Amino acid sequence: MKKVIDCLLIGYRTDENYSYYQDFANKFLDGQVVEKQFNGTISYLGTFLHRRGYSFDYINYMEDEYDLLSEKLKNNSYMTICLSTTYIMKMQTLVKLIKIIRMIKPDSKIVLGGPYIVNLLREKIIDKLVKNKLLKMINADVIINDFQGEATLCNILTAIREGECYESIPNLCYRMDNNYHYTHIIREDNKLEHNTVDWRLFADRIRSTVSIRTSQSCPFSCKFCNFHVIEGKYSYISVEAIERELNTLKSINKVKCINFVDDTFNMPKERFRDILKMMIKNNYQFKWYSYIRCQFLDEEIVSLMKESKCLGVYLGIESGNQEMLNNMNKRADVSDFYRAIALLNKYGIVTYGTFFVGFPGETEDSVQDTIRFLNESGITFYDIYQWRYDINTPISQEKEKYGLEGCDYEWKHNTMDSIKAREMCNKIVESVMNSTRSQFDPTMFFLLLAIGCNIDMFTKYYNRSIQDFKRLTI
């Protein structure tokens, strides 16, 4: 008799260059196994369901575990299959994944959630009929129309258990009579303090790297981002709650690296200091990395970061030009970036900066300032992108001021257009000599550091691989 389980959670996150990291480990790290980090959506949702009395099973990454998925679907009976779209970026990817599930088990009741599908449901520029055709092509049964959505998933499971219809459940788009129907929206507000991950549920399959979230939303309101709008008021969990979660991981004794995925892990500053001191007190053996607002760093904090085994930090710097930072409402000074990066370098903490080109007000002169910053600041790695104009971000409220037209990656404004921005991205790559452009997965890179990789060794190997690739493509 097949085991009946309420929900099979399925994660997805492709990495086409995964073999590169394992090749590196085979050559320089005695063949240690390099794994993708444990899926954070799975760990959070699984814990949420378990605490509310629902049974679950999971596939960490569908792209790596097709055989395991097939085995589970054939040997178990799942009331629902829930596919996360957190790391899905393309419609064809989503369509393909659902086709695979239905090939194995055609009568599966498939539930979708996550930012990709919610953004599609709420996209204002797509006609309703066109959107319905897209949903039919995707071929899911129920879609959760909320950026959190975990409480809605519980409501779906209860309705199925009790044989009730979906129409009274808020935050849904569901299929009925060959069409998709929407229910009313009531924004979820699930507090992280009461929903920290219980890692004991995943101890048998936990990986070398895990992700932990200690806050919701963002305390800043940059004009290129709508995260603070989607997630609502900024909130964070207590140091004691973080300590309990870390102690559980310590007892499992498999984790080597932790990715703190908060948008701004070092805010508020006093709380961050307390977290670092707590980690030092407990002498955890795992290393860690996170997103940091580097303008709030000082020498005491950076020294504590190093002592608590910080490997490196992501820095959302965006631009080396002060006027551009002001336009973005970054609430930062370029001089603070220079100072903070110097401190991080002093303590041997790797810096990984992200930048983009083309935000309203951008000119060739402002791009030149970014080039200068990259060459002079001492930042370890960087990546550069063309700015994407999301019409749901605050900058859209100033489109008349900047003459802003278009959307996504095709736009123009008073001082630049998307074509010029792409040219400027190439110019930056050609002009930066003192920092390495990253085209690798930082989560995999930081795991390599955690298991003994030398930064100079990695950089040389990486640069040589890029040169070899260029020769092959000429």
Tens digit of pLDDT for each residue in 218-228? 999 999 998 87
* Alpha-carbon span 179 to 177, nearest angstrom: 5
Place of tokens 């710097």: 317
Range of the domain at 359: 192-438
What the block records as the tokens of 32 is 């240690």
350, pLDDT greater than 80: yes
Q: CB-based burial of residue 324 (10 Å sphere; 0-12 exposed, 13-18 middle, 19+ buried)?
A: buried
Closest of 317, 330, 309 to residue 381, by C-alpha: 317
Return d(Cα 108, Cα 118) in angstroms, integer.
21
Residue 459 lies in a domain: no
404 and 259 co-located in one domain:
yes
User: Does residue 452 belong to any structural domain of this protein?
Assistant: no
- Report yes or no on 470 lying in a domain: no
User: Lowest-pLDDT range, 48-52, 128-132, 469-473?
Assistant: 469-473
State whether 122 and 207 are in the same domain.
Answer: no
φ/ψ (deg, to 5) at 56: -145, 160
Reported in sequence order, the residue ranges of 41-109 that DSSP labels E, i.e. its strands, are: 56-59, 76-84
120: CATH: 3.40.50.2300
Co-location of 168 and 205 in the same domain: no
Write 103-109 long-range contacts (CB < 8 A, 24+): 104/69, 104/70, 104/73, 104/74, 105/73, 105/74, 108/73, 108/78, 108/81, 109/79, 109/80, 109/81, 109/141, 109/142, 109/160
Q: How confident is the model at residue 313 (pLDDT cuts 50, 70, 90)?
A: very high
Q: What is the pLDDT of residue 456?
A: 86
Q: Is residue 24 part of a domain?
A: yes
Would you say the C-alpha torsion 107, 109, 112, 117 has a positive or negative sign? Answer: positive
In this structure, which amino acid lies at residue 415?
A: T
Residues 306 and 399 in one domain: yes
Do 207 and 75 reside in the same domain of the chain? no
| Residue of 465, 420, 413 whose CA lies nearest to 439 | 465
Cβ atoms of 274 and 236 within 8 Å: the answer is no
pLDDT in tens, 53-77: 999 999 999 988 999 999 999 999 9
Greater pLDDT, 33 or 135: 135
Task: Examine the domain organization and report whether 223 and 163 are in the same domain.
Answer: no
Quick one: 176 and 197 in the same domain?
A: no
Instruction: Assess whether 226 and 170 both reside in one domain.
Output: no
* Domain annotation covers residue 300: yes
The reply to whether 237 and 326 lie within a common domain is yes
Beta bridge partners of 351: 313
Percentage of the chain lying above the pLDDT 90 cut: 78
Residue 75 lies in a domain: yes
* Average pLDDT estimate for 308-335: 97
**Could you tell me if 239 and 281 are in contact, meaning their C-beta atoms sit under 8 angstroms apart?**
no
Question: Of 182, 204, 223, which residue sits at a domain end?
Answer: 182
In the prediction, which pLDDT does 233 show? Answer: 86
Averaged pLDDT, 147-164: 96
Cα 307 to the center of its chain, rounded Å: 26
Maximum mean pLDDT: which of 6-15, 188-197, 291-300? 291-300
Is position 461 within any domain?
A: no
* Predicted local confidence at residue 410, as pLDDT: 97
Question: Pairing relation of β-strands 310-318 and 257-260?
Answer: unpaired
pLDDT over 70 for what percent of the chain?
Answer: 97
Question: Euclidean distance between the first and final Cα of the chain, in Å?
Answer: 58
Per-residue pLDDT for 194 more than 60? yes
Identify whether residues 227 and 174 lie together within a single domain: no
Is residue 448 a part of any domain in this protein? no
Is 339 in the same domain as 413? Answer: yes
Q: Which residue is associated with the tokens 């309703």?
A: 128
**Category of 140 on φ-ψ map: left (φ > 0), alpha (ψ -120 to 50) or beta:** beta
Instruction: Tell me the C-alpha distance between 282 and 100, whole Å.
Output: 45
CB atoms within 10 A of CB 75: 9
